[in-house]
Amino acid sequence: MKLAGVASSLPGNRFRQNVLMEALGNIWAEQLSSPALFERIHSRTGVEYRHLALPLAEYENFKGWGQRNKAWLEVAQDLGERAIDAALARSGFARREMGALVVTSVTGIASPSLDAHLINRMSLPTDIKRTPMFGLGCVGGAVGLTRAADHVRAYPHQVAVLLAVEICSLTLQLGDLTTANLIATGLFADGAAAVVIAGAERGCDGPEIAASRSFFYPQTEDIMGWDISERGFQVLLSPRLPALIRERLARDVETFLSECGLCSKDISNWILHPGGPKVLDAIRDALQLSERDLAISWDCLRRFGNLSSASVLLVLEETMLKRSPTSGSYGLLIAMGPGFCAEMILIQW
């Protein structure tokens, strides 16, 4: 199984972090008990630029969650089509060769699901196998990649495509002044990424998916997720997350790698979800990584913010395009998300 192509797609509305902070500060001018705390939170996210689905003025026009969800479906289709076509172009495959489509998103919901809309919009094969996924959040890109790899393992003559698309800005809760929401408004952004995975019987270039492993942490549902109500999606984000990472991640990584006959010293490229400064710092401490090991993750956080499920795939794209790993070397892709859980994928270049 090979990663034949990876590509991202971002909305055209690109903003500096200070512009977004000022816009929100103006909206909340009469409500913030501590404007200094709000500004401090935004300035410490590690984000310099973010892409948003819509011009800033349009976000105040939404009257309810239904309108925001409708906008999510429209934007997600546009970004999704662009990401899939770009990944196919890099892989050398065509739309008609797609045997499976895995789609993950946690910022909107539809039935028929987003994948069905894309099949119609893009005239994809009518016998394509569909797997829509909701609720996985930041781990969704890694889990979706595993599911797509599972498909081509079972059908080695086929090509599968994973799409992760998140429109985080449409989950904005202007009535929520909790610390978790203040962090979210300074961290999350919009975008999509797609990966083409080719079965063993399809000749193509690209690194090989060597193995994958899932870790679920019981009784940690309150670490991360959404509180979903008639108001839409209200973020849940526990300050205990960095401690959980420091406590569990190193042991789980070594467990997985030992099953593959490897150890952490055998990994030359770390493809890590840029969840935020505290998450990246906790990963660095837990795995005893160098600044170079996390450089691409930090750079993606700085340039794009946190795109939830799509973020780790942007790190993968940047690694494949710019890092040029040595042939035969290993990379480890890691993302974590609601559950709480971690997904790891071993890649051989």
203 inside domain = no
Judge if 11 and 112 occupy the same domain: yes
186 alpha carbon, distance to own chain's centre = 16
**Residue 65: per-residue pLDDT:** 86
- Collapsing DSSP to helix, strand or coil, 139 comes out as helix
In angstroms, rounded to a whole number, what is the distance separating the alpha carbons of residues 226 and 231?
12
Judge if 178 and 45 occupy the same domain: yes
Per-residue pLDDT of the chain (349 residues; tens, 9 = 90+): 899 999 999 999 999 999 998 888 888 877 777 778 888 888 888 999 999 999 988 888 888 888 999 999 999 999 999 999 999 999 999 999 999 999 999 999 999 999 999 999 999 999 999 999 998 999 999 999 999 999 999 999 999 999 999 999 998 877 778 888 888 888 899 999 999 999 999 988 889 999 999 999 999 888 877 777 777 777 777 788 889 999 999 999 999 999 999 999 999 999 999 999 999 999 999 999 999 999 999 999 999 999 999 999 999 999 999 877 888 999 999 999 998 999 999 999 9
Inter-CA distances, 169 with 15, 53, 75, Å: 12, 7, 11
Judge if 155 and 265 occupy the same domain: no
276 inside domain = yes
Judge if 170 and 305 occupy the same domain: no
Judge if 123 and 215 occupy the same domain: no
Tens digits of per-residue pLDDT, 193-207? 999 999 999 988 889
Place of tokens 């393992």: 153
Determine how β-strand 13-16 pairs with β-strand 2-9.
unpaired
Residues 6+ away with beta carbon under 8 Å from 10: 51, 79, 190, 191, 192, 304
Q: Of 198, 230, 245, which residue is a domain's last?
A: 198
CATH code of the domain in which 15 resides: 3.40.47.10
Judge if 49 and 25 occupy the same domain: yes
Active site residue 138: yes
Residues 6+ away with beta carbon under 8 Å from 326: 268, 349
Q: Domain span at residue 339? A: 208-348
Residues 6+ away with beta carbon under 8 Å from 73: 108, 110, 114, 117
Q: Of 170, 198, 226, which residue is a domain's last?
A: 198
Tens digits of per-residue pLDDT, 41-73? 888 889 999 999 999 888 888 888 889 999 999
